[in-house]
Structure 1
């Protein structure tokens, strides 16, 4: 299993940027696989605590049922547009893909199921310093960090 702490240990600067973007807003988007194989997107809140990326699912929620049946997921940070007058200052967006492992019931005031992410990919998409090219940085376990610039 690859945890958030594995990303932090392998690429501390990349992990810190990705974490800032993932936690800048409360609501993110989670994609799961429906029983018929089609995609489903749902709103989600995450936490990164003790080196683990975690999230929950309320009782009887479809996303929880999806993950129990097929643990594959993709997570997308909140999306904001680059500033028109300073596009290079856009923090970008982060996408995480992997498998969700159910760790039992949520603890605290909210009922539901708790999940921990086994990470297969972390991607940070942003603009270069000139603000005129798209930069895609992606990290995979065992492969390290790669960077691609596109026009």
Structure 2
């Protein structure tokens, strides 16, 4: 598992500094991300969530009593997807692509000025990051990824 800062360092080491920068830009392109958690019965739950990059970590919070908060306190596995940005129909290769990550939610102390008693605050220990976008020419996808234990990879799919 890794912090966001470690992903940035690894992408430099593997000669792909734009990987971490593009993923971060996609996550910062809008307020609402989509988070996937696991319900008590193991089925998936998706919800909106706000997240931010702070001090080399990806952090987020949840309102007290929310089902996704209960999910993460019971089972910390999660996946998060950036805001969805549509590529231009006439020129899809100029679109930004999309980014997602997976890992474990680690509960952290609330900020000192939080008004939400019982809210949950987390950082993500990252196990996987994926960036997908339309290649040039627009006849294939490019999939860049980082996985714990494997590092950075770039693949294409027609």
TM-score of the pair, normalised by structure 1: 0.95
Q: 2:146 aligned with 1:139, yes or no? A: yes
Q: Are the equivalent residues in 2 in contact too, given 1:95–1:122 (CA < 8 A)?
A: yes
Deviation at 1:106, TM superposition (A): 4.5
Q: What pairs up with 1:1-151 in 2 under 5 angstroms? A: 1-11=1-11, 12-111=17-116, 112-151=119-158
Number of residues of Structure 1 aligned to a counterpart in Structure 2: 151
Name stretches of at least 5 consecutive residues in structure 1 with no aligned partner.
none
User: How much has 1:110 moved relative to structure 2?
Assistant: 4.6
Within 2, Cα distance between the matches of 1:110 and 1:48? 21
Structure 2 vs 1, CA of residues 123 and 107 (structure 1 numbering), >3 Å: closer, same or farther? Answer: farther
Distance 1:17 1:119 in 2: 17
**Alpha-carbon separation, structure 2, partners of 1:126 and 1:76:** 14
Q: Which runs of 5+ in 2 are unaligned?
A: 12-16
- Alignment deviations for residues 69-114 of structure 1 (CA, whole Å, 9 cap, x no partner): 0000000111122211211111100010000001133443452111
TM-score (norm 2): 0.91
Q: Following TM superposition, where does structure 1 have runs of at least 4 consecutive aligned residues deviating by more than 3 angstroms?
A: 106-110
Distance 1:107 1:136 in 2: 40
